[in-house]
Amino acid sequence: MKIVATSSGGFAGLPQRHAVDTTVSPDGPLLEAALASSGFFQAGPAPRSEASGADLLRWTITVEADGRRHSVTFTQDGSPASAPWERLLARILAA
């Protein structure tokens, strides 16, 4: 499984990119379990966010697995809607 997290926005506007291949990462099984428990593949592409501001990061998590590709985009604003994706993002960035 290949996971890519990319950001845009933020105060400096510098994009970030973090990629993980779960077949070679020591954290691979934990990431795959986190994806499964988050309902990632059943989620819509962009949860709603009431937050606005150029200083907020907007993240897209894209996963390719078993011939399918799915992406979720969210604003990292600490809202209840973004909380599951922020937890998943933290695991991806730590891998």
Domain with 60, as residue range(s), is 2-94
DSSP string, 43-62: S-S--------TTSEEEEEE
pLDDT one-digit tens code per residue, 39-80 = 898 888 665 555 556 688 999 999 999 899 999 999 998 888
Residue 31 belongs to a domain with what CATH number? 3.30.350
Domain count, the chain: 1
With bands split at pLDDT 50, 70 and 90, how would you rate the model's confidence at 1? very high
Confidence of residue 11 (pLDDT cuts 50, 70, 90): confident
**Residue 78 CB partners (closer than 8 Å, separation 6+):** 86
Helix (H, G, I), strand (E, B) or coil at 95: coil
Distance CA 86, CA 70 (A): 17
CA 15 to chain centre: 14
